[in-house]
Amino acid sequence: MPHPVMFDETDPLLARVRELALVFPGAAEKISHGRPFFYTKTAFAVYGGGVKDTGAQFPRSLIVKPDAGEREALLAAPHGYPPAYLAPSGWIGFDLDRDDVDWDEVGELLDMSFRVTAPAKLVRELDARAR
């Protein structure tokens, strides 16, 4: 049985996340488990999620995989949370449903997650763009 769609296609926060995520080399989007997943060879970001232990839902959030050394500091952010199912693998969720979203920070989180998950060839391509 397929998962139900768990996002609003007209959500302006999702539109902004798409703008930021789909500029990375080889990036694409697919719907998996009812949510938008942004990926290259594997996922580097997910839109929407919840906390398994508490059941709290963050349908307008971004889930990324940061560098291991950044994980604890990012989890300590007031809008950070350990996402259900993905947290044990090092993923972090960030609630975007708030007035003070720093889109530069969101872009940096996407960049970090892309660099952690993407094939080295795509990371080199990204670095070459910056020159």
Whether 116 is covered by a domain: the verdict is: yes
Domains held by the chain: number: 1
pLDDT in tens, 29-49: 999 999 999 999 999 999 998
What would the mean pLDDT of 103-124 be, rounded to a whole number? 98
Q: Which of 29, 45, 117, 114 is nearest to 127 (CA)?
A: 114
**Parent domain of 38:** 12-123
pLDDT in tens, 54-94: 888 999 999 999 999 999 999 999 999 999 999 999 999 99
Whether 80 is covered by a domain: the verdict is: yes
Q: What is the CATH number of the domain that holds 65?
A: 3.90.1150.30
Whether 7 is covered by a domain: the verdict is: no
In angstroms and rounded to an integer, the radius of gyration of the C-alpha atoms of the chain is: 14
Whether 131 is covered by a domain: the verdict is: no
73-111 as b/e, with b when 16 or more CB fall inside 10 Å?
Answer: ebeeeebbbbbbebbeeebbbbbbeeeebeeeebbebbb
Looking from the CA of 124 toward its CB, the CA atoms found within 13 Å total 3
Residues forming beta bridges with residue 93, ordered by sequence position: 63, 81
pTM of the model: 0.94
